[in-house]
Amino acid sequence: MHTLERLQRAWGSKLYPPTSVSERDLSDLEAELQFGFPKGYRAQVLEFGLPGPTAELWDWLTDREDAAIARYGFTLAMLFKSSPPHLNDFFTPEEMQEALSSRELGLPEHLLPFANDSSGNLFCFDLTVLRASPGANSSVYYWDHDFLEVERLAKTFDRFVNLYLP
């Protein structure tokens, strides 16, 4: 079972099935921006769609963070980031294109947003890698729009999704 399917089963709702994405929509964005999505991401999105995590995921992340604070104290828990940022929505190719408008707010040119968190910060692929080697794995980065900071969250898309699985 793919990581996106596991994410939907863990945190999705039967009332809100995954959003379908077409091959054409992915290919159009790739052609327009001259890159290739990571093969694993592309295959999962085409086969399964984009999951829609519910607020239960946020509760689970908050509980993990609270447990780490209770065990290690606030400073250490925050220093070692016991919990990843809240994952809100995965973007369709059209929404990815729209999210590029965040470049006006400081989003680095080499980042391609594919999801956001509950505060509007962005999860991104590295376009530099995906232009040099279309289909290659790209690390996943987190762009904080308040502090204009970029942080690498995971080495691959699957490892990123695994951060949100119980």
Determine the pLDDT at residue 28.
98
Determine the pLDDT at residue 62.
83
Buried b (16+ CB within 10 A) or exposed e, 132-166: eeeebbbbbbbbbbeeeebeebbebbbebbeebee
Q: Please state, as a whole number, how many other Cβ atoms lie within 10 Å of the Cβ of residue 73.
A: 11
Determine the pLDDT at residue 91.
98
Tokens representing residue 163 in the block:
């951060």
Task: Count up the domains in the chain and report the number.
Answer: 1
Q: What angle do CA 99, 38, 94 make, to 5 degrees?
A: 30
CATH number, domain of 123, equals 3.40.1580.10
Determine the pLDDT at residue 74.
58
Determine the pLDDT at residue 79.
53
Determine the pLDDT at residue 1.
76
Within the chain, which residues score under 50 in pLDDT?
A: 77
Phi, psi of 87 (to 5 degrees): -90, 130
Determine the pLDDT at residue 105.
96
Determine the pLDDT at residue 89.
96
Question: Measured between alpha carbons, how far is 90 from 84 in angstroms, rounded to an integer?
Answer: 16
CB within 8 A of 4, min separation 6: which ones? Answer: 18, 44, 45, 48, 49, 50, 51, 161
Determine the pLDDT at residue 63.
81
Q: 139 and 159 in contact (C-beta within 8 Å)?
A: no
Determine the pLDDT at residue 123.
98
8 is in which domain, residue-wise?
3-162
Q: Specify the DSSP class assigned to residue 50.
A: B
Determine the pLDDT at residue 75.
57
Determine the pLDDT at residue 69.
60
Evaluate if pTM is beyond 0.85: yes
Determine the pLDDT at residue 80.
54
